[in-house]
Amino acid sequence: MRLYFDLLTTFLKIGSFTLGGGYAMLALVEQAVVRQKKWIDEDEFWKMITIVQSLPGVFAVNTALYVGYRIAGKAGAAVSFLGAVLPSLVIIGAISTCFQEFRENETVMKIFAGIRPCVVALILAPSVKMFIKSKLSWKFLPIPILVAAAVVFLKMSPVYIIMAAIICTIGWEYLKIKDIDKKSTDNHEEDEAADDDDEKNVEFISSKKEND
Amino acid sequence: MFLKLFWSFFKIGLFGFGGGYGMISMIQFDVVDKNGWMTNSEFADILALSQMTPGPISINCATYIGYNQGGIIGAIFTTFALCLPTILLMAIVITWLFKNKENHYVKALLSSLNPIVVGLIFSAGVLMMNKENFVGFESVIVCTIVFVATFFFKVNPIYLIIMSGIFGYFYY
């Protein structure tokens, strides 16, 4: 019971301070779950983020569900989900009568002018940390940079990038297993001629794994 | 009417990928173009409010639209509809993952998706570095200080948000 209450208050706090979108929650969850409560160790936390971000749906909700489930099973997932969503519902209900006034309120605008750049930093910092903690060598730095460039400049949808990566990885691993079985070496053609960037990414990683 | 709301947001929750902003355009299409629940400028107002209230933008957006259409019940309805596909999917994926942690393909996927997810989250931050969020050199300073404080000194992000808000109130 104590644990559920702890989960609920933790996610209520996180939900109330998630300003400027779900990604801003990342830094807050890390602080609370990894550093303060020590419910999940850092290594597992970043693995979890990888899974959660690769699935459809609301990132913040996925994260809350996963953390809750990991710590206290199904009931834990339900409790942390409630904690993450409740602040939105309550606050919107509370200001529903004065939407317009709230939006044009000068004090609110001033406060948000200060908070917005802070939120940007709170999204950038965890992503850099995530790369460092993944213990990949610096050789792999081009991958996140290429992905970010594809999204920012080419306006490529993350869905396609993730799907291409999944298909390439499974294909590559499958070929590798088949290679070992047949003991033939010249079987490395990839089926997907689709995404140059992503194919390169997967090749990088796979070759790294082979070296290990 | 409630059913239509539910279905629209269920669909968005199911196909929405990679965070709030991708979902916003889907919500806009369904709410403004397809069903005509509100005009484009009304939607823009709601979007601005969603960014100013705590919580994920897509959930806030769904809550406002639900509230706008059917009061508190409508708000709970749309929020739940948006989250339901995620809940179902997570239930399946998490239980499956916990069982197959040591699977060869699962391990390979985790390590190859990792740097890609890093790039995706980083790009979300870069996309937010626009004129709307960075109003002047002070914004750049705030961003840099917060980055250093959280990255190197592990300062609690909640304090950083509160302090930036106080700074904004007194400076602007």
Predicted-assembly ipTM surpassing the 0.90 threshold: no
Q: Are residues A115 and A209 in the same domain?
A: no
Q: Count CB pairs under 8 A between chains A and B.
A: 346
Residues B6, B81: contact at Cβ < 8 Å? yes
pTM of the model: 0.83
Give the Cα separation of A129 and A58 in Å (integer).
Answer: 22
In A, residues 5-24, which contact B (CB 8 Å cutoff)? 13, 15-23
Which range (A89-93, B19-23, B79-83) has the least confidence?
B19-23
Q: Are residues A129 and A188 in the same domain?
A: no
- How big is chain B by its Cα radius of gyration, in Å? 19
CA-to-CA separations, A182 to A110, A120, A189, B28, B103, in angstroms, rounded: 67, 51, 15, 53, 21
Nearest-CB residue to A161 (from B116, B132, B134): B116
Q: Are residues A84 and A174 in the same domain?
A: no
Q: Decide which of A111, A135, A159 is a domain's last residue.
A: A135
Question: Domain residues for A153?
Answer: 136-212
Q: Are residues A87 and A8 in the same domain?
A: yes
Give chain B's end-to-end CA distance (angstroms, integer). Answer: 44
Q: Are residues A77 and A100 in the same domain?
A: yes
pLDDT in tens, B115-156: 999 998 898 889 888 888 898 899 999 999 999 999 999 999
Contacts of A19 (CB under 8 A, 6+ apart): A115, A119, B52, B54, B161
Contact assignment for B13 to A60 by CB distance below 8 Å: no
Q: Are residues A118 and A146 in the same domain?
A: no
Q: Is B132 helix (H, G, I), strand (E, B) or coil?
A: coil
Q: Are residues A111 and A179 in the same domain?
A: no
Give the Cα separation of B110 and A24 in Å (integer).
Answer: 23
Q: Decide which of A104, A135, A166 is a domain's last residue.
A: A135
Q: In B100-130, where does DSSP find H-type helix?
A: 104-127
Contacts of A172 (CB under 8 A, 6+ apart): A190, A202, A203, A206, B108
Q: Decide which of A135, A156, A182 is a domain's last residue.
A: A135
In A, residues 145-184, which contact B (CB 8 Å cutoff)? 145-152, 157-159, 161-162, 165-166, 168-170, 172-173, 177
Q: For all residues of chain B together, what is the average pLDDT?
A: 88
Q: Are residues A120 and A161 in the same domain?
A: no
Give the Cα separation of B120 and B18 in Å (integer).
Answer: 8
Q: Are residues A117 and A149 in the same domain?
A: no
Q: Are residues A105 and A174 in the same domain?
A: no
